[in-house]
Structure 1
Amino acid sequence: MPFASSLPILAQTTGAEPGLVTYFTQSNLAGQIIIFALALFSLVAWTIMFGKTFELRKLRTLNLGFQEKLREQRSILDLPDGFRVPEGVPYAELFRDAVEAYWRVEGRRGDGDDRLIAARIEHAENALQRAVANQSLEYESNMVFLATIVSGAPFFGLLGTVWGVMDAFGAVALRAEASIQMLAPGVSGALLTTVAGLLVAIPSVFGYNYLLSNTKQLITELENFASSLADRIELESR
């Protein structure tokens, strides 16, 4: 019977359960190297995503704390001796640069008070603009590595697949007889690199978009703080 005659063939083809380990061993050397590289990329991506998330949360908490502390002061241009500007806080860096630039301008002979005040305010605003740009770069640090992994991992996996399929067809072409059983192991091993590339890229793209959204929010809050600080300096100067 046809059904009975097909049983030996089924028994031969299903002798081993397919799995990731089997596919990995069936990959060529280039595919295995690419999979190891993608595993390294995945480790870097997850490290950046977790580290950047905790860093942005910490900076936002420190910023809000310093902002509240600054609101309690009657004057930001004449602070008490006990007031300390903390290190490593973006809002504090903006405040320090603005106040230092403000008092750096000294009056010259023939300058009136209004002209001196205008020059000090202008210098403080310029310092705030530079500080905002510098802190924005700090917020966005390491994001370029994550963006590179997001865009490069799928292509890296595709390279391994194309290379593996090429080797599989090349090996079959050298044999007198070709069958799907001879071709399938090499192709399945080659496709594993594409799967690995997608497994690296998909979580990375979600993490990148999440971090990018938080970064933009913090930059907007930074610009708003700089604007309010400039207004307060101008009001206290009059």
Structure 2
Amino acid sequence: MLNAPFLAAAASATAETQPTYLFVWEQLEGPGLAIIVILVLFSTCAWGVMAFKALQLRRARKYNRYFDQEFRSQSRVLAMFERRISAEGCPLFNVYHEGCIALEERLRDKEGNRHRYVSLKSVEHIKGLIESAVARESVALESGIILLAIAVSGAPFMGLLGTVWGVMEVFSAAAQEGNASLTTVAP
């Protein structure tokens, strides 16, 4: 809680002796300090997730663009797969590769002979595998968003709690001082 020595020190503090934010930081007590630390953690978490997501999405977009250009330049759908091209970190390539593996398995019979066509049932199976690969890539790109949502939605409430706590300290100090003048409530 704020007390009379704090108020007297605040009234005598000048801009030449110490910046206001340093003076206030030194006067913080448990709950106020905890609120500020939590807000800093929320902010750090939010900025960290946003920076990581920005880099991750930019890299994925770049790799997807390269993959798309290469894929469209191929004469056959399986041409890249047959050349054993690898593009780690590219979401489109990962989906394509899973689909190609499934298609390759369906095109070969038990003796290892390759057929030219697959059955409708096999196409549906491959489609399901591709859809699950798309879902996995989406989850990978969306990871961390929960932390961002928690930080962004929780920080305003912590800020409000800090404001209420500060107002309560000011009123308590004014009550202890028995004076509600401007020098009592405003450092």
- Range class of TM-score, shorter chain: 0.7 to 0.9
Partner of 2:4: none
Residue identity opposite 1:28 in structure 2: E
Percent identity of equivalent pairs: 33
Name whichever of 42-51 and 59-68 sits farther off: 42-51
Q: Is the 8 A contact 2:49 2:148 kept in 1?
A: yes
**Cα deviations across residues 61-120 of structure 1 (Å, max 9, x unaligned)?**
111111222222222236575331322211111111112222334769xxxx9x952122
Q: Does residue 176 of structure 2 align to residue 174 of structure 1?
A: yes
5+ long unaligned stretches in structure 2: 1-9
Pairing 1:67-146 to 2, within 5 Å after superposition: 67-77=68-78, 81-105=82-106, 116-146=118-148
Greater CA drift, 48-57 or 164-173: 164-173
Aligned position for 1:232: none
What is the distance in 2 between the residues matched to 1:82 and 1:75?
Answer: 12
More helix by share: 1
Q: How far apart, CA to CA, are the structure 2 residues paired with 1:102 and 1:53?
A: 34
- Counterpart for residue 38 of structure 2: 37
Task: State which of 146, 153, 156 in structure 2 corresponds to 1:154.
Answer: 156
Q: Which runs of 5+ in 1 are unaligned?
A: 1-11, 186-238
One-letter amino acid of the structure 2 residue matched with residue 163 of structure 1: W
Give the Å deviation of 1:133.
Answer: 1.2
**Aligned residue in 1 for 2:6:** none
> Higher mean Cα deviation, 41-50 or 12-21?
12-21
Q: Does 1:16 align with 2:14?
A: yes
In the TM superposition, residue 13 of structure 1 has moved relative to its aligned partner by: 5.4
Letter in 2 for 1:33: A
Q: Is the 8 A contact 1:73 1:79 kept in 2?
A: yes
**What is the CA–CA distance in structure 2 between the aligned matches of 1:79 and 1:57, rounded to whole Å?**
23
Count matched residues.
Answer: 169
Q: SS of 1:24's equivalent?
A: helix
- Taking structure 1 as the reference length, what is the TM-score of the superposition? 0.60
RMSD: 3.0
Pick 1 or 2: higher relative contact order, CA cutoff 8 A, min separation 6.
2
Equivalents in 2 of 1:101, 1:132: separation in Å? 14
Secondary structure of 1:73's partner? coil
Preserved contact between residue 71 and residue 80 of structure 2 (Cα < 8 Å): no
Distance of 1:129 and 1:80 partners within structure 2? 19
